[in-house]
Amino acid sequence: MRVDPLPVPARPGANRRPLRRTLRQWFDTQEGDRPLDPATADRIDWLRAAPFIALHLGCLGALWTGVSGVALTTAAVLYAVRMFAITGFYHRGFSHRTFRASRPVLLLFAVIGAACVQRGPLWWAAHHRNHHRDADTPRDPHSPRVHGFLWSHMGWFLTRRAFRTDLRRVADLARYPELRWLDRYDITIPATLAAALYGLGVLLHRLAPQLGTDGPQLLVWGFCISTVALFHATVTINSLAHGWGSRRFETHDDSRNNFLLALLTFGEGWHNNHHRFPGTARQGFRWWEIDLTWYGLRLLAALGLIRGLKPLPSRVLEALER
């Protein structure tokens, strides 16, 4: 007669290990990396996405904190400075290598870019390079043609597969240990910014109460609202700029030029131009195509902070003028 062995009791806390590992991954993105399960790799990891959801819920805090001129100014300045770091350095610099800069300058803007809560510079550049390689094909993780608007706008990067950094695509950047550190501990900079804003608000409330601000108000407006607005403006280039606008060039994707999106994203809305010539730091090709990032990069080049800025080929400019 066959006798089944007695079941081995689970060790206390064994069932909590996946939860603990996920919580640690909020602070260390390489913590507990395991081979991906194809059955779940492309599903949203809701637990790991909890900080992203909490950031949006934090905007509701404005109902209690109210608003002030200081809060609005802080939110606007942080939107502008961080948008330039994303468009000028995360995108045109790290992803497309359209200029060169010293390591201190690259690190400075990488830190500012990390404050956008759009992950680290290696993660951002790797995904963007993959996007250009597979734009609007089934291998493109955020193609609205393939996956629909909502997924291309903000669903794709919340999956287990998308949380990982494909270091094979960014070997040129991965040789910098400071960029690898920022990529691994990407929550450090946003958390520091949030704490600094709260502390600044507390200080202003004590020293200059006539300004009408405090710690919770600057945290809500300067961090939560500014960051959420920055995020959704940035990802319109994934979603809206691949279906809404005009096409100057016949590219192998659905990229469009859109004046409104270009204003919101400091020039990224000239997306069809960019997909036709991704190797140039300039995306607004005509004088009326406002490209604030290009103007900012030219200023940094004039100041000697960056060099080798790649302009649009003269033959293209001449053809556009005809």
| Cβ–Cβ under 8 Å, residues 164 and 281 | no
Residue 127's Cβ-count burial label (10 Å; 0-12, 13-18, 19+) is: buried
DSSP secondary structure letters along 176-223: -HHHHHHHHTTTHHHHHHHHHHHHHHHHHHHH-GGG---HHHHIIIII
Mean pLDDT along residues 266-291: 96
**58 vs 21, more confident:** 58
Which DSSP string corresponds to 1-19?
---PPPPPPPPTTGGGHHH
| Across 19-28, 161-170, 236-245, 260-269, least confident range | 19-28
Least confident among 6-15, 281-290, 295-304: 6-15
42 class by beta-carbon count within 10 Å (0-12 exposed, 13-18 middle, 19+ buried): middle
Q: How many helices (H) and strands (E) does the chain have?
A: 17, 2
Q: Return the pLDDT at 21.
A: 67
Length of the chain: 322
Token pair recorded at residue 152? 């291309």
Is residue 265 predicted with pLDDT exceeding 80? yes
Looking at residue 7, its pLDDT comes to 47
Confidence of residue 28 (pLDDT cuts 50, 70, 90): confident
pLDDT in tens, 281-299: 999 999 999 999 999 999 9
Question: Model confidence at 317, in pLDDT bands (50, 70, 90)?
Answer: confident
Of 18 and 314, the one with more pLDDT: 314
CB 123 within 8 Å of CB 165 = yes
Average pLDDT value for the chain: 91
Residues near 125 by beta carbon (within 8 Å), at least 6 away in sequence: 90, 94, 95, 169, 170, 173
Nearest to residue 238, comparing CAs of 84, 101, 127, 89? 127
* pLDDT tens, residue by residue, 223-235: 999 999 999 999 9
Whole-prediction pTM: 0.91
Rounded to an integer, the average pLDDT of 195-216 is: 98
